[in-house]
Amino acid sequence: MGAEHRAKGVDVQLGPVAGPLGRSPEGGRNWEGFSPDPYLTGIMFADTIKGIQSQNVMACAKHYIANEQEHFRQISESSNYGKITDPVSSNLDDVTMHELYLWPFAEGVRAGVASVMCSYNQVNNSHACQNSYILNYLLKQELGFQGFVMSDWAATYSGVQAALSGLDMTMPGDIAFGDGASYFGANLTIAILNGTLPQWRLDDMAMRIIASWYYVGRDSVDTDINFSSWTGDTFGNRNFAGQTSHQVINEHVDARQEHGKLIRQIASASTVLLKNDHNTLPLGGKEKLTAVFGEDAGPCPLGANGYGDRGADCGSLGIGWGSGTADFASFITPDTALAYEASQRGGAYESVLQNGARGQMATLARKAALVNGVCIVFANADSGEGYINVDNNYGDRNNLTLWQGADAVIETVSGNCNKTILVIHSPGPVELGTYKNNRNITAILWAGMPGEQSGNAIADVLYGRVNPGGRLPFTMGNTRADYGTDILYSANQAVPQIQFEEGVFIDYRAFDRANITPVYEFGYGLSYTNFTYSNLVITNVGAGNYTSTTGHTPMASTYGSYNQSTEAHLFPKNLTLVKNYIYPYLSSTDMSKASRSSNYGHLSLPASARNASSQPLLPASGAPGGNAELWDVLYEIRCTIINNGNLTGEEVPQLYVGLGGKYDPVRVLRGFERLSIQPGQSTTFTSHLTRKDLSSWDTVKQDWVRKNNVSQKVWIGRSSRLIELEGVLP
C-alpha cells in the first residue's frame, strides 16, 4: 500500500491477500494495508470474497469506511498517546468518498459479500457504526447491499440510533468487553415494546442476517466445531468466556493438506525484484560462500509463536501484529532455507543473525567478497493493530525507516562486500533511496510479509526456480514528505479531526501531480527476462447510453406480530444463565428498570427516522454494487507482448486511463493481467474499460458521468511511470 495515504479501506476477515501486483498486507494509513489504488483493491477484494464464500463461509468486508489510521480509533487506546473524548473523525468530500474509498466496497458488494463491518472511527463527525449516510444512503441504498452490517468489537455507541442508522448486529454484544451490558439485547426488546424502534427495522435486521446465512449455503452445509481460538488445550469450557460445559474443545485436526505448497507459491510469486545490477540474480548455485546477515533472516528466540497476537518484531517477519493474526503451524526462516540450499549445492554457508555484532558481520562480509561469494542482508519494518505497542509504534509505524537497527547492518555489509543482496520484509514502503544508489548493493527484493514459507519462497526466487513477477502495490518515495499526507500522531483537539485535503491524490497520483520522481513507483517490478510491447488496438464496442435509475422503493415490510406485554418477555424461570451472554429478556416488567439506564424515556429522534414509506431510488443505485450499466464494457484494449529473453517469465501489463478533467489525476489504473510467456513467444494482453472506469462522480447529479468534450487517453505500461504504449479513446 502507498506510503502516507488513506487507502486502508477494506480487507477481508480471513487475512491478507496476494495478487498479480504483489502482496497487500493488512495495516493502516501509515503506509500499510491494501493497495492505495481503489481499482486494484476492488479486484483483489472481490475475488477474495468469491473464494471465501464458495466454501460456504461468510466473508466480512471491513473496515467501513475511511478507517485510515490506528491512532485515536478508540478512546481506551488513546490514553497511551493523547487524551480524547471521542474517536478520530475522518473528514472527506463526496467525490473522494466515491472515487477512492467507496469504490472497493462497491466491488465487494457486487461480488455478493455477506456482511460488512463498520469501523471505530467517525466519518464527518458521526460514528461509523451509527452514521445513517454511510450505512443507509451509501451502502444499503446506492450500492444495494443486501447483507448485514456488524460493528467492530465495541464500536457501538448507541442502541436505537445505531439500529435506525443501519447497524444490524452489535459485536461482541456488550458495551465494554465483559461488562454484561448491551445497547442491543434487552434494550432492543424494550425499544420495540415502547415504540422507539419500529418493527419493520427489527425485521429488516433479522432478515439480513438470516438471508446471508442462506446465501452462503449454511442451511445445507454444517460442520461441528473442533477447535477453540482461545486456547490450545485439549479440554476446557465449550464457551470460553461463559465457562460452561467442560469437554474436549480442541481435536487438533490437521487441516493443512497442501496449503504449505500454496503459501510458498503465493509468497514467491508476490516477491518484487526492485534492482538487479550486473545480473546478480538468479544465483548460479556455485557460490563458494553464501553469507547471510540480519535478525530478519533468523528465528525469534521465543519461537515463531512466542508473542501473543504477534506483538513483537522478533526474528524474521512473516506477518504483522493484531487480533486478526494466527499461529504458524511452522515457520521456515531464510537462514534455515538458505543454509539448506548451500549444503545441497556443496558451497560454504555462514550467517550472523545478531544485528549488534557488526564486527563479526564486517569480517564475514570481507571473507565472502574475497572468495567471490555473495552477501545477503535481511531487514524489516513491522506494523499492526493499535492496541499493541511495539517499540513505541502504536499500530501505525512512526516512520518509513527499517527496524532492528538494520540500516547499520546494511552499511556494514555493503561496505565490505561488493555483491550484496538486500531483502526487505515490510507491510508497505520503506526508505530505499540510499540503497538503490549503492553500487555494492547489486540486487534488492521486496518480499512483503510472506507467511510461514518465507525462507523457501525467497530461496525459490534467489536461485531462479521462480522468475519474479510481483509488482509493487504502492509507491516507494525518497522521504515520507513525498507522499503529501501523514498520520495524525498527536490529538489536535478533544475529538481528533483528520481533514482529507489531498482528496483522491494518494500514492502514485500524488507523485504524478507534484511531479516527484519516486525511488520505485507503483506497479514497478523487474524480471529475469525482458519484454517488449507493440500493436496497441482500441476498439469501441458500442455499449449504448447510460440510464440513471429512477422510481421508488417498496414500503418497509413487517413479518408477523409480537406480544406487546412486557411480562411475556421476562427471563424464563427455568433458564440457566451463561456468564457473559447477552440475552433479549427483560429483568423487570418496568421497562425503565430493565433498561439499566438513567436516560430511559429521553430519546430524541427526527420525525423521518421511523419513516416506513416508499423512498426515491438513487440515480447510481440498482443491482448490488450500484447501477448495473456502470459495468457495461465501452472499449476493448489490446496489445502484443513478446518475451525477448531466454527464460519463461511473467509480465504484468497495466492499463491506465486519463479521465480528462482539470482536477483529475494524471492517470489511474483500470486494468492489469499477469501473463506467463515462454522465451521468444508472444501473447496478447486484453483489457476492457467499463463505463464506471471512465466516469467521475458528479456531486450535483449524485451519479457517475463521463466528462463532455474532453480527450481521454489510455496508456499501457510496466508500471505507473514505465509507459510502453499510449492512445486516445475514440
What does DSSP assign to residue 100?
I
Partners of 677 in the beta sheet? 649
**Residues 409 and 543 both lie in one domain:** no
Which one-letter amino acid corresponds to residue 251? E
Pick from 425, 451, 467: which residue ends a domain? 467
Give the separation between CA 103 and CA 112, rounded to whole angstroms: 15
Quick check: 67 and 116 in contact, CB under 8 A?
no
Give the separation between CA 334 and CA 297, rounded to whole angstroms: 5
Pick from 428, 443, 467: which residue ends a domain? 467
- 661's grid cell: 478533467
Partners of 273 in the beta sheet? 445, 526
Mean pLDDT of 532-555: 96
Give the separation between CA 177 and CA 152, rounded to whole angstroms: 12
Quick check: 377 and 413 in contact, CB under 8 A?
yes
**Residues 539 and 450 both lie in one domain:** no
For the stretch 83-86, contacts whose Cβ atoms lie closer than 8 Å and that sit 24 or more positions apart, written own/partner, are 83/491, 83/494, 84/491, 84/494, 84/495, 84/496, 85/494, 85/495, 86/122, 86/127, 86/494, 86/495
Map grid coordinates 411475556 to a residue: 568
Active site residue 396: no
Give the separation between CA 150 and CA 59, rounded to whole angstroms: 12
Pairing mode, strands 633-643 and 531-540: antiparallel
How does pLDDT run across 592-609, given as a tens digit for each residue?
999 988 888 788 888 889
Which CATH number covers residue 420? 3.40.50.1700
How does pLDDT run across 344-370, given as a tens digit for each residue?
999 999 999 999 999 999 999 999 999
Phi-psi region of 479 (alpha: psi -120 to 50; beta: other; left: phi over 0): beta
Secondary structure (DSSP) of 56-76? T---EEEEETT---STTSSHH
**Residues 402 and 544 both lie in one domain:** no
Give the separation between CA 663 and CA 93, rounded to whole angstroms: 14
Q: Is 142 helix (H, G, I), strand (E, B) or coil?
A: helix
**Higher-scoring residue by pLDDT: 374, 600:** 374
- Is residue 310 domain-resident? yes
Map grid coordinates 442451511 to a residue: 219
How does pLDDT run across 619-671, given as a tens digit for each residue?
999 999 999 999 999 999 999 999 999 999 999 999 999 999 999 999 999 99
What does DSSP assign to residue 616?
B
Q: Is the peptide bond preceding residue 688 cis, with omega within 30 degrees of 0? A: no
- Of 586, 707, 606, 592, nearest to 658 by C-alpha is 707
- Is residue 720 domain-resident? yes
pLDDT given for residue 243 in this prediction: 67
- Is residue 276 domain-resident? yes
CB atoms within 10 A of CB 12: 22
- Is residue 406 domain-resident? yes
pLDDT given for residue 34 in this prediction: 56
What does DSSP assign to residue 191?
H
Pick from 451, 467, 483: which residue ends a domain? 467
Range of the domain at 432: 272-467
pLDDT given for residue 350 in this prediction: 98
pLDDT given for residue 542 in this prediction: 87
**Which run of H or of E encompasses 367?**
helix 358-370
How does pLDDT run across 696-715, given as a tens digit for each residue?
999 999 999 999 889 999 99
Angle at 519 between CA 518 and CA 525, to 5 degrees: 105
**Residues 336 and 462 both lie in one domain:** yes
Give the separation between CA 456 and CA 343, rounded to whole angstroms: 14
Q: Is 486 exposed, middle or buried (0-12, 13-18, 19+ CB in 10 A)?
A: middle
**Residues 424 and 343 both lie in one domain:** yes
**Residues 308 and 450 both lie in one domain:** yes
CB atoms within 10 A of CB 321: 24
Q: Is 203 helix (H, G, I), strand (E, B) or coil?
A: helix
In sign, the C-alpha dihedral spanning 253, 255, 261, 263 is: negative
In sign, the C-alpha dihedral spanning 323, 324, 326, 331 is: negative
**Which run of H or of E encompasses 105?**
helix 102-110
pLDDT given for residue 80 in this prediction: 86
Counted domains in the chain:
2
How does pLDDT run across 326-346, given as a tens digit for each residue?
899 999 999 999 999 999 999
Give the separation between CA 395 and CA 398, rounded to whole angstroms: 9
**Residues 689 and 544 both lie in one domain:** yes
**Residues 283 and 431 both lie in one domain:** yes
pTM: 0.94
Quick check: 31 and 465 in contact, CB under 8 A?
no
pLDDT given for residue 26 in this prediction: 29
**Residues 667 and 545 both lie in one domain:** yes
Give the separation between CA 124 and CA 88, rounded to whole angstroms: 10
- Is residue 510 domain-resident? no
Map grid coordinates 467492530 to a residue: 152
- 240's grid cell: 470460553
Q: Can you point out the beta strands (E) in 581-680?
A: 633-643, 649-651, 654-657, 668-672, 675-677
**Residues 425 and 541 both lie in one domain:** no
Give the separation between CA 4 and CA 28, rounded to whole angstroms: 10
Identify the band that residue 319 occupies on the pLDDT scale cut at 50, 70 and 90: very high
How does pLDDT run across 210-253, given as a tens digit for each residue?
999 999 999 999 888 888 888 889 998 888 777 677 889 999 99
CA torsion, points 103, 104, 105, 107, in degrees to nearest 10? 100
Distances (CA, A) of 360 to 11, 13, 374, 625: 43, 44, 16, 58
**Higher-scoring residue by pLDDT: 7, 285:** 285
- Is residue 498 domain-resident? no
Max CA distance (Å), the chain: 89
How does pLDDT run across 101-121, given as a tens digit for each residue?
999 999 999 999 999 999 999
- Is residue 50 domain-resident? no
Supply the mean pLDDT for the chain.
92
CB atoms within 10 A of CB 694: 21
- Is residue 386 domain-resident? yes
- Of 227, 392, 259, 229, nearest to 323 by C-alpha is 229
Quick check: 655 and 714 in contact, CB under 8 A?
yes
| Least confident residue range of 3-12, 397-406, 454-463, 560-569 | 3-12
What does DSSP assign to residue 97?
I
Pairing mode, strands 441-446 and 272-276: antiparallel
**Residues 297 and 437 both lie in one domain:** yes
- 157's grid cell: 455507541
Which CATH number covers residue 694? 2.60.40.10
Catalytic, out of 37, 152, 168, 703 = 152
**Residues 297 and 394 both lie in one domain:** yes
Identify the band that residue 10 occupies on the pLDDT scale cut at 50, 70 and 90: very low
**Which run of H or of E encompasses 149?**
strand 148-151
